[in-house]
């Protein structure tokens, strides 16, 4: 096969409100853009399975090169589409590629998850004996077009977006004297009723998951946690250590986990773990929390829905007493109705959504709440009915009521704008009522002063 073969992945930078607009009524602006991003990543992943003699380029409409690489996760060369309608943009990409010495050029869209590496490879094989190869789409358009020489005519005067685009193109190709080969008819994803096709493709892909565990002196729990996770196929385990002195990093590494080191602080540690993750899906887990059986399939099923940006499991404890059941029930009500899970519920999301949201805010406490509030504005957060089982050790040590009361103090202080460092200190030292009331009082007075200043200067 000629080493001068080029596959062009033709994509649009996923700007909410301007991408996959026909799907916005179903998915919302962010969900529609997220679907296009994910399908583009899926297409690039399929293209990367082609033989090395086929070069791959990503031609994009919009975005900077950095933004494109960040969004699509590709190290393929990036080029920018020309101005004009779809026909002109495609013609320019073909003309430019032939001008650079490529002998066969195949261009694919990103809306067809049924487009496999074998189909792409077949297109290049057909171009050895035919001038033009087209992959017809079920809606009357096409998902692939390949040429072995430039031909402006087949891209001019086409009524793009209509159901007879393929027929128009074939007529112009015949009129131009091109020999033509057709591939299998496949489905594009352009309408709300097409979305299940993507969900099925995502599930069948069996996307890998990176489980990120922030730890500090968890030597007792970490061995069991890593061992259980390593039994599940397609799981990468990353332990983000914040300076343990009890051998936690060594114990984790001996069990097969990847260990990364970061300054102490759950947010900083989880961000460090995410930077070192290699999977499409990130799952943040506490060392003393046990995931339910089949957690990986449940996560993939939830994230297959492009309207969902993140999810978590319901909360359960290893103590089945009535007070602990009530505590778990309250947490699950909050999580479902406010779409606001906490870190001990093992939340998960796709890696590009984590990056696009800026990761966890660098604060010493309530980083999970603030991060979930950011995500909630971009898509649904789902709480699965299956439960994680987390340790009730803190509740047992302090007492269920006192632990609950401290948690309410923390939440109230956070909402009132109290200093996160002070909140974290009192949380760790189990501060007394007078200390908490003093902190909350200071936060209220500060908020009232700010409000008064605004009224005075307005």
Structural domain boundaries in the chain: 5-202, 206-394, 412-457
Could you report the per-residue pLDDT of 432-452, keeping only the tens digit for each? 888 888 888 887 888 777 676
Question: Are 5-202 and 206-394 equal in CATH topology?
Answer: yes
pLDDT at 410: 85
Dihedral of CA atoms 443, 446, 451, 452 in degrees, nearest 10, equals: 140
| CATH, domain range 206-394 | 3.90.550.10
372, 310 contact by CB (below 8 A): yes
* Fold annotation for 5-202: Spore Coat Polysaccharide Biosynthesis Protein SpsA; Chain A (3.90.550)
> Does 419 have pLDDT greater than 90?
no
CA neighbor of 112 nearest in space, from 84, 133, 141: 141
pLDDT tens per residue, range 39-65: 999 999 999 999 999 999 999 999 999
Q: What distances in angstroms separate CA 291 from CA 226, 269, 347, 388, 389, one per listed residue? A: 12, 20, 11, 5, 7
Q: Which helix (H) or strand (E) covers residue 180, if one does?
A: strand 180-182
Q: What pLDDT does 457 receive?
A: 55
pLDDT tens readout for residues 87-115: 999 999 999 999 999 999 999 999 999 99
Average per-residue pLDDT in the chain?
A: 92
Among 32-36, 140-144, 205-209, which stretch is predicted with the lowest mean pLDDT? 205-209
Query: 301 Cβ partners below 8 Å, 6+ apart?
Result: 203
Per the document, the length of the chain is: 458
Chain-centroid distance of CA 378 in Å reads 12
Can you tell me the distance from the alpha carbon of 273 to that of 412, in angstroms, rounded to the nearest whole number? Answer: 29
At residue 174, the pLDDT reads 95
Pick the closest to residue 135 from 89, 90, 186, 81 (CA basis).
186
Written as one string, the DSSP assignment of 238-302 is EEEES--SSSHHHHHHHTT-EEEE--SSHHHHHHHHHHT--SSEEEE--TTEEPPTTHHHHHHHH
Q: Range with the lowest mean pLDDT among 160-169, 254-263, 391-400?
A: 391-400
- Report the distance separating Cα 274 and Cα 262, nearest Å: 12
d(CA 351, CA 337): 25
For the segment 154-200, what is each residue's pLDDT rounded down to a tens digit?
Answer: 999 999 988 999 999 999 999 999 999 999 999 999 999 999 999 99
Q: Does the reported pTM lie above 0.85?
A: yes
Is the pLDDT score of 430 beyond 90?
no
Strand partners, 8: 57, 107
CA–CA gap between residue 23 and residue 17 (Å, rounded): 10
Q: What pLDDT is recorded for position 458?
A: 57
What stretch of H or E contains 311? strand 308-317
């Amino acid at each position: 096969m000629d080493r001068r073969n080029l596959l062009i992945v033709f994509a649009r930078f996923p700007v909410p409100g301007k991408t996959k607009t026909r799907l916005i009524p179903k998915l919302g602006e962010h969900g529609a853009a997220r679907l296009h991003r994910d399908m583009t990543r899926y297409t690039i992943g399929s293209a990367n399975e082609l033989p090395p003699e086929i070069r791959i380029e990503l031609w994009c409409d919009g975005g900077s090169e950095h933004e494109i690489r960040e969004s699509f996760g590709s190290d393929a060369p990036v080029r920018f589409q020309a101005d004009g309608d779809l026909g002109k943009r495609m013609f320019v990409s073909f003309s430019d590629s032939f001008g650079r010495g490529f002998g066969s050029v195949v261009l694919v869209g990103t809306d067809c998850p049924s487009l496999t590496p074998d189909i792409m490879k077949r297109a290049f094989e057909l171009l050895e004996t035919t001038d033009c190869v087209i992959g017809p789409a079920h809606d009357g358009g096409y998902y692939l077009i390949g040429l072995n020489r430039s031909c402006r005519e087949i891209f001019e005067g086409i009524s793009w977006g209509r159901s007879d685009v393929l027929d128009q193109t074939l007529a112009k190709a015949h009129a131009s004297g091109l020999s033509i080969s057709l591939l299998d008819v496949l489905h594009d994803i352009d309408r709300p009723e097409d979305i299940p096709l993507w969900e099925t493709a995502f599930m069948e892909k069996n996307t890998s998951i990176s489980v990120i565990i922030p730890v500090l002196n968890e030597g007792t729990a970490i061995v069991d946690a890593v061992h259980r996770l390593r039994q599940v196929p397609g799981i990468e385990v990353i332990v983000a250590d914040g300076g343990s002195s009890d051998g936690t990093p060594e114990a984790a590494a001996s069990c097969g986990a990847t260990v990364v080191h970061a300054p102490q602080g759950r947010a900083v540690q989880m961000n460090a773990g995410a930077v070192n993750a290699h999977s499409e899906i990130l799952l943040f887990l506490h060392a003393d929390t046990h995931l339910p059986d089949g957690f990986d399939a449940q996560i993939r099923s939830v994230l297959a829905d492009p309207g969902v940006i993140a999810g978590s499991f319901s909360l359960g404890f290893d103590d089945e007493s009535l007070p602990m059941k009530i505590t778990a029930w309250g947490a699950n009500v909050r999580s479902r109705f406010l779409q606001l899970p906490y870190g001990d519920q093992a939340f998960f999301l796709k890696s590009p959504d984590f990056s696009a949201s800026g990761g966890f805010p660098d604060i010493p406490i309530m980083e999970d709440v603030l991060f979930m509030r950011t995500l909630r504005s971009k898509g649904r957060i789902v709480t699965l009915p299956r439960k994680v089982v987390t340790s009730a050790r803190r509740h047992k040590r302090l007492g269920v009521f006192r632990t609950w009361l401290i948690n309410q103090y923390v939440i109230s202080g956070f909402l009132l704008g109290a200093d996160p460092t002070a909140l974290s200190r009192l949380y760790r030292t189990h501060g007394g009522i007078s200390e908490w009331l003093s902190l909350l009082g200071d936060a209220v007075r500060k908020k009232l002063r700010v409000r008064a200043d605004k009224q005075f200067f307005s």
